[in-house]
Structure 1
Amino acid sequence: MSSEAESGGLTEYIQHHLTHNSVQFGSTPFWSINIDSMLVGILAGGLTLLWFWSQARKATAGVPGKGQAFIELVLTFVDGQVKDVFHGDRRFIAPLALTIFLWVFMMNAMDLLPLDLIGGVLNITGHDPHHTFFRSVPTADLNTTFGMSLTVFFLVLFYSVKSKGFGGFTLELFTAPFHANGTFGKILLAIPNFFLNLVEYLSKPVSLAMRLFGNMYAGELVFMLIAGLPWYLAWLGGAPWAIFHILIIGLQAFIFMVLTVVYISMAHEHH
């Protein structure tokens, strides 16, 4: 069992590691910013950009190095996925998909860091790790996943209007998926159509956010439970779970990317 878990008990240990380092504005917790999620998210994105920039500077038309070959493999993989799903102009969608995949993957990968690593750093720098809160997995924060999913939602609305026009998009909200002949039938089905379309559009960001958050939060919680075991059992349980969690990290990034492309592709379709 980790020293922190031994000193305060497993329940207190888990509660401590599930508490964000946040700044609250106003009298309610709703108006608050989780500094740890924002800091790690920006850092993960910055490291990814720096990595790609450094490899782009060293890129060669001849035999590529290992780094360039890996990036070309990722680019080919993402572009192939976009090509299979989206059949329009991919000049914006493909870079968007690549950004989402790599950024979500990097943020998810923070879950592989040792739980008490931050506490150890704080202890070395003279801070009390028992009273300083820091969560290192941004995607285990519902604010992060909803922020990304709402961005995707607004992109879906933008492409819906761009593809069909504001009038065509508004008309589609009231005339699909159920069609009727005659003015009376169209008026009768307008409210059910609008309600069904509203549910469909609102369910997209909710499902995107909750799926990613739920998987990463559960993975983080399992790591905490394993950390509360005796050290010899923690090693036996932690290593297999970490290996399995690598698959979850990549899979969740892939799902978020593919669903984003699918939703934008659906926005281009006409009923």
Structure 2
Amino acid sequence: MASGTPSPSEYVKHHITNLSYGEGLWTIHADTLFFSVVLGLFFLFFFILAARQATAGVPGKLQNFVEMLVDFVDNSVKDSFHGPRQFVAPLALTIFVWVLLWNIMDIIPVDYLPLLSYKLFGLEYTRVVPSADINGPFGLSIVVFFLILIYSVKGKGLGGFGKELLFHPFGKNPILWPANILLNIVELIAKPVSLALRLFGNLYAAEMIFILIALLPWWIQFIPGGAWAAFHILVIPLQAFIFMTLTIVYLSLAYEEH
């Protein structure tokens, strides 16, 4: 905080408050946007660097790592999506790496970057984990939602998609059309909501635990902090993988006829 020694409740509240501009629906969380863009550029820089250094001979460590990552994502797409993969595979790779980088930010000690941003720029609030801000996961899941609609029309045609909304799951009886439409709308909305809340819930809980550990005396923090960080290292790639896999599955379900 700017001055004085905060109470535990003030400390926690301070660390879970975003740097915001605007009010109501038009509030912008500048720190979430900033770190999302920076991590996205970081991702692009290293992949472009690996592409430029790619060789048919003995590959370097960076090329090996990128090729391993691309093969892993490509195999995941092949296993789940049976339509054209020219767009879905790069999308899955982008989602996996970007969400992974979001989550990795949670490993940085909770006071380091907020204190640095206050010292350098006088910013009172700085949250550095985009996936722990509900707006980050929801922004990504809304993009997936619109892609689900696009692939539903692309795979079935506009008429086929409309028939699915009317006739699935209870059949073609006109009396059941309202129930079919309602259930399909609920199913469509539930996909991005569950996608976002799963990522947000796990990372927000992890962030809160790190903040609570930071309230302990400095000489004992490394014991619970180290144990939780070791466990959290498993959660970080797992949540990125789940987000990517569910995106692929949702697009596959949208593309295929039922």
Give the TM-score, by structure 1 length. 0.91
Structure 1 residue ranges, 4+ long, deviating more than 4 angstroms after superposition: none
In the TM superposition, residue 103 of structure 1 has moved relative to its aligned partner by: 0.4
Q: Is 1:239 the equivalent of 2:234?
A: no
Q: How does 1:1-271 map to 2 (within 5 A)?
A: 7-24=5-22, 28-125=23-120, 127=122, 132-180=124-172, 186-271=173-258
Quick one: structure 1 residues 239 and 52, their matched pair in 2 at CA, closer, same or farther if it must change by over 3 Å?
same
User: How many angstroms apart in 2 are the aligned matches of 1:240 and 1:76?
Assistant: 32
Deviations 1:89-145 (A, max 9, x none): 111110000000000000111111111112331354373x6xx10100011111111
Q: Number of matched residues?
A: 258
Deviations 1:141-190 (A, max 9, x none): 1111111101000000001111112122111101011225xxxxx11111
User: How many angstroms apart in 2 are the aligned matches of 1:117 and 1:175?
Assistant: 55
Deviations 1:40-66 (A, max 9, x none): 000000001001111111111111111
SS state of the match for residue 5, structure 2? helix
Deviations 1:204-227 (A, max 9, x none): 010001000000100000000000
Quick one: structure 1 residues 89 and 15, their matched pair in 2 at CA, closer, same or farther if it must change by over 3 Å?
same
Quick one: structure 1 residues 107 and 126, their matched pair in 2 at CA, closer, same or farther if it must change by over 3 Å?
closer
Percent identity of paired positions between Structure 1 and Structure 2? 50
User: How many angstroms apart in 1 are the aligned matches of 2:171 and 2:121?
Assistant: 68
SS state of the match for residue 233, structure 1? coil
Amino acid at match of 2:128: S
Q: Kindly name which structure, 1 or 2, has the bigger radius of gyration based on alpha carbons.
A: 1
**Unmatched 5+ stretches in structure 2:** none
Amino acid at match of 2:21: V
Deviations 1:54-83 (A, max 9, x none): 111111111111111111111111001100
Q: In angstroms, what is the RMSD of aligned CA positions?
A: 1.7
Quick one: structure 1 residues 9 and 52, their matched pair in 2 at CA, closer, same or farther if it must change by over 3 Å?
same
Would the aligned equivalents of 2:117 and 2:126 in 1 still touch at CA under 8 Å? Answer: no
Deviations 1:212-248 (A, max 9, x none): 0000100000000000011222110111111111111
Amino acid at match of 1:29: G
Amino acid at match of 1:98: L
User: How many angstroms apart in 2 are the aligned matches of 1:224 and 1:244?
Assistant: 16
Give the TM-score, by structure 2 length. 0.96
Amino acid at match of 2:249: V
User: How many angstroms apart in 2 are the aligned matches of 1:194 and 1:31?
Assistant: 31
Amino acid at match of 1:249: I
User: How many angstroms apart in 2 are the aligned matches of 1:36 and 1:203?
Assistant: 28
User: How many angstroms apart in 1 are the aligned matches of 2:104 and 2:138?
Assistant: 19
Quick one: structure 1 residues 123 and 87, their matched pair in 2 at CA, closer, same or farther if it must change by over 3 Å?
closer
Would the aligned equivalents of 2:114 and 2:127 in 1 still touch at CA under 8 Å? Answer: no
SS state of the match for residue 135, structure 1? coil
Of residues 114-123 and 35-44 in structure 1, the stretch that sits farther from structure 2 once superposed is: 114-123
Quick one: structure 1 residues 126 and 267, their matched pair in 2 at CA, closer, same or farther if it must change by over 3 Å?
closer
In the TM superposition, residue 30 of structure 1 has moved relative to its aligned partner by: 2.2
